[in-house]
Amino acid sequence: MSHPRHELDQVVHSPVRFSIMAALSPLDRAEFRMLRDTVEVSDSALSQHLTTLEQADYIIVTKAQKGRRTTTWVSLTPTGREAFRHHLQTLNRIAQQPAAGDAE
């Protein structure tokens, strides 16, 4: 039997990307600045991680003009929601797995 760690999604597993996905999971969408403040990273770091998630089809980034200001919105895709759900399930399976030699 293969260890469940092999099922972890390396795109999601990064601490910052995991935090982004967790912040987005209960929401329809989140504003860039809110995500930046929530996960406590710089604008450039957040942009890089969002690009990785977008390339994996886990998020959609949209921009909306309001007056002179552009607001950037981020949403999980259905694929992203499923990837995050599966990643959490895998982490739970790892956490609940008995240590080698433990009696069941």
Going by pLDDT thresholds of 50, 70 and 90, the confidence category of residue 99 is confident
Whole-angstrom distance, CA of residue 27 vs CA of residue 16: 18
Q: Is the residue at 52 inside a domain?
A: yes
Counting residues of the chain whose pLDDT is more than 70, the rounded percentage is 94
Q: Is the residue at 17 inside a domain?
A: yes
- Report pLDDT for 102: 59
Task: Please report the DSSP string for 36-97 in residue order.
Answer: HHHHT--HHHHHHHHHHHHHTTSEEEEEEEETTEEEEEEEE-HHHHHHHHHHHHHHHHHHHS
- Report pLDDT for 4: 86
Q: What is the CATH number of the domain that holds 83?
A: 1.10.10.10
- Report pLDDT for 101: 62
- Read off the pLDDT of each residue in 2-29 and give the average, rounded to a whole number: 94
Q: Is the residue at 2 inside a domain?
A: no
Q: Is the residue at 97 inside a domain?
A: no
Question: What pLDDT digit, counting tens, does each position of 53-75 carry?
Answer: 999 999 999 999 988 999 999 99
Q: Which domain holds residue 76?
A: 7-92
Question: Taking the complete model, does pTM exceed 0.85, yes or no?
Answer: yes
Query: What's the domain count of the chain?
Result: 1
